[in-house]
Amino acid sequence: MRIVAGQFKGRPIQAPKTDATRPTSDRARESLFNILAHADWAPALEGARIVDLFAGSGALGFEALSRGAAFCLFVETMHAARGAIRNNIETLGLFGSTRIHRRSAVDLGEKPSGIGPPFDLAFLDPPYHKDLAKPCLESLRSGGWLVPGALVVVETASDEPLDLADWTLLADRDIGAARLWFLSAP
């Protein structure tokens, strides 16, 4: 895997050495970030605060940082994935603009004050067909993790429904076996 564009374009990203993660493909990341760059409802990446939940390799967060995001919090419970993220942070020299949070994305609790203000953009890439997106969205909202109207991008299997509750669906796109859902926080 490589970073698609921006400051770190072409730089490799290490993925965890396990079958328990499913990194977002280069093609899907490129499509996702093209949508974010051109949609009138998408926040500017320049200076944005990002939270990457179910981070895996951290590919989505690293892509956002490469394109100008100011900070990314990677949320991941799996030891091998946190190790890969740590290695990627070191390789790219991103110590001051990243943190790794060992916490379940479906049970975030209150946002710790030590990680700064709420986030402008959240990426959720839960395992497919496990119904984890809805509790994760609720956890983000109830814990004060997002600014009002923040953009949340959820990746699911293309055949997987998503219960939006009171979130606003801005757009959705099928990219191969995945569906990207673009939501506005209530």
Asked if the model's pLDDT at residue 116 lies above 80, the reply is yes
Asked whether residue 159 is assigned to any structural domain, the reply reads yes
pLDDT at 25: 67
- For the sheet containing 119-124, what is the strand order? 98-101, 71-75, 49-53, 119-124, 146-157, 178-184, 168-175
Asked if the model's pLDDT at residue 176 lies above 90, the reply is no
Asked whether residue 18 is assigned to any structural domain, the reply reads no
> pLDDT tens digit string along 67-104?
999 999 999 999 999 999 999 999 999 999 999 999 99
Whole domain around residue 179: which residue ranges? 26-184
pTM of the model: 0.94
Provide the number of structural domains found in the chain.
1
CATH of the domain at 108: 3.40.50.150
**CA 178, 183, 186 angle in degrees (round to 5)?**
155
Average confidence score pLDDT of the chain? 92
pLDDT at 79: 93
The two three-digit tokens of residue 113, written as one number: 């004050």
Asked if the model's pLDDT at residue 53 lies above 70, the reply is yes
Radius of gyration, CA atoms only, the chain: 15
**pLDDT average, residue stretch 136-159:** 95
Asked whether residue 10 is assigned to any structural domain, the reply reads no
Asked whether residue 11 is assigned to any structural domain, the reply reads no
pLDDT tier at 155, thresholds 50, 70, 90: very high
Asked whether residue 32 is assigned to any structural domain, the reply reads yes
Pairing of strands 146-157, 119-124: parallel
pLDDT at 165: 83
The two three-digit tokens of residue 185, written as one number: 């926080």
Asked whether residue 85 is assigned to any structural domain, the reply reads yes
Asked whether residue 179 is assigned to any structural domain, the reply reads yes
Asked if the model's pLDDT at residue 55 lies above 60, the reply is yes
Given a contact cutoff of 8 angstroms between Cβ atoms, the answer to whether 108 and 73 are in contact is no
> pLDDT tens digit string along 19-29?
656 566 677 88
pLDDT at 81: 92
Given a contact cutoff of 8 angstroms between Cβ atoms, the answer to whether 83 and 16 are in contact is yes
Looking at 20-29, 55-64, 114-123, which range is the least confident one?
20-29
Asked whether residue 3 is assigned to any structural domain, the reply reads no
